[in-house]
Structure formats: C-alpha cells, structure tokens
C-alpha cells in the first residue's frame, strides 16, 4: 500500500523538491501552500504523514497542528527556520512527531519520514492494548480513559503518556526518556512539556484510588506506582 505524504509549505520550490524526492521513494504526494488549505487537504487526501512548515499564510503551522490533532494522530513533521527551544517545546505539546530545520537535506527528510512512519506503525501495534487498575481503565485502541467507570476527556498525548507509565508499573522514567518513547524523537534540553502533561493527568487522577499513584521521583522523573509493590 502506497503511503500518502502531504507537504505544506508556502515556498513552491521546496514543495516541488520534496515531491520529486518522495515520489522517487515510492510515496504518493500532495502539496499545498497555505495553512487553511492544509487542514482540508489532510482530510480529503487521507494523508499518512504531513510535512508542515511553521510560517504559512492564513493559518500558521502551530494552528494547523492544533486543528489536525483534534481528529487525527497521524504523524506530523514540522519544518522551521533555525529552531529555537521554545518552538520545539510548543511543537511537542501540540503533538508534532519530529522537527526539521531549514536549510535541510532532502535525503535527511526522507530518512526522518521513514523513521517516523516506522514508529507510528509500532505505536498502532502497541495501541491494541488496554491496562486496568482499581477504578482506572486505559484503552489505547479507542483512546479512552475511564475513571470510576466514567469516560474522562483526555487528549491523545496524555493518553499515550499514562498508558506508557501504567503499562510499566513502578518503573521510574526520566523526562528525556519519556520524550523519546512517548513523543517519539530525541529531544533534549527543555522537558517542560512532560511536566505539563503530568500535571494535567494528576488533575484527572489525584486521589482516585489508594492502590496506585502517579508519582514524582524527585530529581529523576516519574512513575506509576502500585502501592505495596514498590521496587
């Protein structure tokens, strides 16, 4: 099955360069040049992955990423000029899967796309799982979190984070490891995004059960602790 790549950049030359390289690699490619068109094209083209420039007319890349994440978890690779740490953190929080900084080498873009698609396929395999604890059910097949039997509205990355922690109870994860394993690419430096997601999860899960706890391990990271089974 041919994988579909949507390229979104207001620079027509970049779009055509990427189209040429991607089609040579066997991908089906569609290009658009503004943010508003990108959202509709993503739906209609049923893109498996989107390459998304940040600086776009009508809607910028941040807004496009935010809108796409309301209805799809398909990978998004963002393109930015000379990336700043703030940009990377914001992209992570909005649900980006990887980053490429201009000027880029087309061969590197191909390699990144293939790596992200492999990880995405792996995530889908892992998503055919559920974990259950006292008063808590986490189902990644349909991205559903239940607390006390009631569905709690939870964004996809929060779901993936709590599933990852709860699937490996009592294991301590550093922030950088969580960024790599949950967000899916090596991003080191500012791990604020993990703290933000943990804080939001705690608001949903605090005090639900005395049998487990989403716990901070000071100076190290986080773990999903089963009471009476601490390692």
Question: pLDDT tens across 98-133, in order?
Answer: 888 888 888 888 988 988 888 777 655 555 578 899
Task: Decide which of 100, 125, 150 is a domain's last residue.
Answer: 125
Query: For residue 231, is it within any domain?
Result: no
Q: Both 76 and 150 in a single domain?
A: no
Query: For residue 149, is it within any domain?
Result: yes
Q: How many domains does the chain fold into? A: 2
Q: Given pLDDT bands bounded at 50, 70 and 90, which one contains residue 6? A: very high
Tell me, what CATH number does 61's domain have?
Answer: 3.40.50.2300
Query: Residues 25-49: pLDDT tens digits?
Result: 999 999 999 999 999 999 999 999 9
DSSP the chain: -PPEEEEE-S-HHHHHHHHHHHHHTT-EEEEESSHHHHHHHHHHHT-SEEEEESS-SSS-HHHHHHHHTTT--S-EEEEEES--HHHHHHHHHHT--EEEEES--HHHHHHHHHHHHHHHHHHHHHTS-EEEETTEEEETTTTEEEETTEEE---HHHHHHHHHHHTSTT--EEHHHHIIIII-S---S--HHHHHHHHHHHHHHTTS-SSEEEEEETTTEEEEEETT---
Query: For residue 222, is it within any domain?
Result: yes
Task: Decide which of 125, 150, 179 is a domain's last residue.
Answer: 125
Residue 230 has pLDDT above 60, yes or no: no
- pTM score, two decimals? 0.59
Give the range of the structural domain holding residue 215, as residue numbers without chain letter. Answer: 130-226
Q: Given pLDDT bands bounded at 50, 70 and 90, which one contains residue 231? A: very low
Tell me, what CATH number does 150's domain have?
Answer: 1.10.10.10
Q: Both 105 and 142 in a single domain?
A: no
Query: For residue 94, is it within any domain?
Result: yes
């Amino acid at each position: 099955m041919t994988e579909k790549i949507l390229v979104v950049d207001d620079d027509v030359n970049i779009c055509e360069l990427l189209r040429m390289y991607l089609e040579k690699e066997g991908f089906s490619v569609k290009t658009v040049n503004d943010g508003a068109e990108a959202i509709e094209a993503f739906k209609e083209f049923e893109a498996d992955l989107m390459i998304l420039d940040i600086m776009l007319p009508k809607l910028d890349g941040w807004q496009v990423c935010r809108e796409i994440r309301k209805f799809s978890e398909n990978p998004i690779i963002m393109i930015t000029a000379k990336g700043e740490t703030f940009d990377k953190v914001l992209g992570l929080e909005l649900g980006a899967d990887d980053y490429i900084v201009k000027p880029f080498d087309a061969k590197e873009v191909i390699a990144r796309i293939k790596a992200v698609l492999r990880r995405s396929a792996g995530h889908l395999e892992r998503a055919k799982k559920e974990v259950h604890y006292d008063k808590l059910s986490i189902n990644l097949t349909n991205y559903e979190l239940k607390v006390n039997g009631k569905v709690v509205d939870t964004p996809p990355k929060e779901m993936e984070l709590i599933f990852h922690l709860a699937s490996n109870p009592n294991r301590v994860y550093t922030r950088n490891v969580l960024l790599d394993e949950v967000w899916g690419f090596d991003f080191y430096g500012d791990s604020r995004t993990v703290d933000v997601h943990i804080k939001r999860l705690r608001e949903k899960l605090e005090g639900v059960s005395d049998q487990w706890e989403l716990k901070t391990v000071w100076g190290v990271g986080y773990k999903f602790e089963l009471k009476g089974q601490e390692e």
